[in-house]
């Protein structure tokens, strides 16, 4: 069973028991829900494969992985929550340059 979100795209709410039904009216909402959850778990497992998490005490998630390009460099990723509007964050990232002042020697 393929997980489709046509009802959400159209914006028409449907009862839970109607999820997963095709045009002929056949389908099972339990199997549909299970297939959607399985697809989500598979996607999340593939998305974070080979990433190594680093410990951080300030609420920032920092991870790295080795890129298969033959160079001895790692690809780094940082995730944190910021209480600001996306427009403000984008402006700060694009317009305000801190250089090495934001990296503390350690």
* pLDDT single digits (tens) 36-91: 889 888 887 777 788 888 877 777 888 888 887 777 888 888 888 888 898 888 88
Q: Residue 74: beta bridge partners?
A: 66
| Spatial distance between the Cα atoms of 28 and 31, rounded to a whole number of angstroms | 5
Q: What DSSP character marks residue 82?
A: -
| Spatial distance between the Cα atoms of 101 and 51, rounded to a whole number of angstroms | 27
Flag whether the pTM goes above 0.85.
no
Question: For residue 99, what pLDDT is reported?
Answer: 56
């Amino acid at each position: 069973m393929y997980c489709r979100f046509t009802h959400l795209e159209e914006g028409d709410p449907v009862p839970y028991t109607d999820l997963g039904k095709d045009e002929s009216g056949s389908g099972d909402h339990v199997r549909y829900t299970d297939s959607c959850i399985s697809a989500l778990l598979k996607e999340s497992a593939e998305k974070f494969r080979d990433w190594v998490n680093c410990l951080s005490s300030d609420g920032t998630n920092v991870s790295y992985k080795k890129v298969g390009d033959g160079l001895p460099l790692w690809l780094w990723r940082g995730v944190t929550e910021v209480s600001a509007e996306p427009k403000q964050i984008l402006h700060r990232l694009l317009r305000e340059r801190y250089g090495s002042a934001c990296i503390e020697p350690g």
